[in-house]
Amino acid sequence: MSRYMPVSERKEIRNQILGLFLLLAVLFGFGLDRYGLFDVDEAIFAEATIEMRESGDFVTPTYNGEPRYHKPPMIYWLQSFSMDQFGETPMGARVPSAIAAFLLCLAMYIFVERMTRNPRYAMISTAVMALNLSFMILARAAIADMVMNFFIFCSTMTIVANIYAKERSIIAVWVAGILFAAGLITKGPVVGLVPVLVVGTAILANPYGVLHGFKASNPIVILLATALGLFPWCQMIISAHGTDFFVEFIMKHNVERFFSGLGNTHTSSPFYYLWVVAIGFFPWVLIAPSAFWWQMKGFFKNLRSENVSDVLPALGLIWFVGVVAVFSFSQTKLVHYIVPALPGFALWIGGRLDLINNMKIKSWQVMWMMPFVLILFVFFFLLKWLPKALFGEGPEWVLNIFRYLETSFGMEWPVDDILLQAVLMQDFDIGIIGVAIAALILVGFVAGFTLVKRGYHQGIMLWAVSYAMVLFLFFNGLGPVVYDVQQGSLARHAEYVATHYEENDKFYFVGLHQPSVRLLSKVPYEALNAPSQIVPLKKSYQQFFLYDIEKKEAVNEMLNDTTPHEMCDGGYCLAVVDKGF
């Protein structure tokens, strides 16, 4: 499809584009304040921002009164500005991510449409990038990753567009350099992975020659613009702390995190991100086999094509595979690390979906994930009863399913995790939300697949709309319930501390890292690695000890002679030792 498509078709697509962006505005912005900030990352970022506002020091981030060299300060600056408008609330902390997500979607559409003159490809790519669980989590989270992804995408695509433009623009190169600098001030050296990978490929495969690509990308100007963008803050942080920030941030939180791990990784398996893609990039991952087969038939030819509509899906495949491959070798693996791969994934998958009317998708290329769809359906259908069923309670027909899994597949059941049991056995009710999500997943998949297989683009829109409804229910229906179950008891403990804490009292986290309590109580804490570090001496001040239910016996043993006032709720306990016992 090109600029010469019929007027009626262009009008139809224009209405679909408008509808898509209205839908995204609702998904990203609605209900940001319906539930509080989650541990660990959201609460830390928000607390660091609040401390920056209170201290007036916008150069050095701190958390709990100590320098925080984990991340550069861009996200704290943006959250501070947002809190000026919305207060020191969950919405104030989350708005920068929501705006960055919307701007990233807008940038995706504009870049692809301007480069290819194909609004349908641009629209589909935008929908693929935005309407999935991974993107939505970061779009509604008070952390730095969505802002980083915006700068990564815009700096990368600005240079790629300049390489394939009929006339090179020096202004575009300067803009790309400034955007890259902003990305570095948001998340650090990891921002360079995608630009180096994608722009490097575009230069080497450019149909007009490597020299043309090199001149269009103009790395000298990019480096100069990046240096100018970084200089003001770098000069201030060096004046305040020397090179301490850069040594700890780069060596510990980048190099050591990648090669050695920091103890917070989810797994060491190199196949971990295949599961993340299957769940986080659903439903569009269903198209991956068909898109891969299509791209491999003319991959190198597409990369060297003068037609940008051929180039972008090929670059997108390199973009996606490159990011996933690099982080698969990282010793620290967290779910959100591969979200920078999503724009590339969208360019690649969107290119294939744009062609379904004249290059139909075969059944086996989609049906391979039918078992996964059925698993999702069963999970959400049973979600109302699942938490208690894990511990052997609930309707008999649900327990029979677990007995079958235990007998046939050796699943360990009932679960014997004390903390998990205390959290999940709280009273809560999700109503029919889980069943509604299950129905949308199954019906949306089957109906969309039927249309896509027959070559109708309406099937793509059906997938997009049905999964958008799933995401809306997930975040605005399940989100508040999940917060109450996971964070409610911690919030109540924080409220108690905030009410009863007096000047010179001491607050201890015992073997815990729950920054939401620090955020909500406004009380600094000291970290004890284990109950054995508690020293129960008579003091002239109150002592507050926060710990999880698994440490209850050990803490009580250490506080045996102090007759503490102990409150346990939802898996977490707060013990208060009065002055002088």
At 229, is the pLDDT very low, low, confident or very high (cuts 50, 70, 90)? very high
What is the pTM (predicted TM-score) of this model? 0.94
Task: Give CA–CA dist 93/414, Å, rounded.
Answer: 39
Q: What is the pLDDT of residues 481-510, one digit of tens each?
A: 999 999 999 999 999 999 999 999 999 999
Per domain, the residue ranges of the chain are: 7-355, 382-486, 501-577
Compute the mean pLDDT over every residue in the chain, rounded to the nearest whole number: 92
At 352, is the pLDDT very low, low, confident or very high (cuts 50, 70, 90)? very high
- Does pLDDT of 13 surpass 70? yes
pLDDT at position 245, please? 85
Task: Give CA–CA dist 579/264, Å, rounded.
Answer: 37
Strand 543-548, strand 506-510: pairing: parallel
Q: Max alpha carbon distance in the chain (Å)? A: 84
- Does pLDDT of 4 surpass 60? no
Strand 572-577, strand 543-548: pairing: antiparallel
Q: What is the pLDDT of residues 441-479, one digit of tens each?
A: 999 999 998 898 888 889 999 999 999 999 999 999 999
Are the C-beta atoms of residues 147 and 339 closer than 8 Å to each other? no
**Tokens representing 438?**
């299950």
Q: Give the torsion sign (CA, 324, 327, 329, 334).
A: negative
Closest C-alpha among 269, 237, 290 to residue 61? 237
pLDDT at position 257, please? 80
pLDDT at position 1, please? 44
Beta-carbon neighbour count of residue 347 at 10 Å? 29
List the beta bridge partners of residue 201: none
Q: What is the pLDDT of residues 49-85, one digit of tens each?
A: 999 999 999 998 999 999 888 889 999 999 999 999 9
Task: Give CA–CA dist 515/25, Å, rounded.
Answer: 30
Return the exposure string of 441-453: e unless at least 16 CB atoms fall within 10 Å of the residue's CB, then b.
bbebbeebbebbb
The torsion angles phi and psi of 29, rounded to 5 degrees, stand at: -105, -25
pLDDT at position 246, please? 83
- Does pLDDT of 320 surpass 80? yes
Q: What is the pLDDT of residues 132-147, one digit of tens each?
A: 999 999 999 999 999 9
The percent of residues above 90 in pLDDT, for the chain, comes to 73
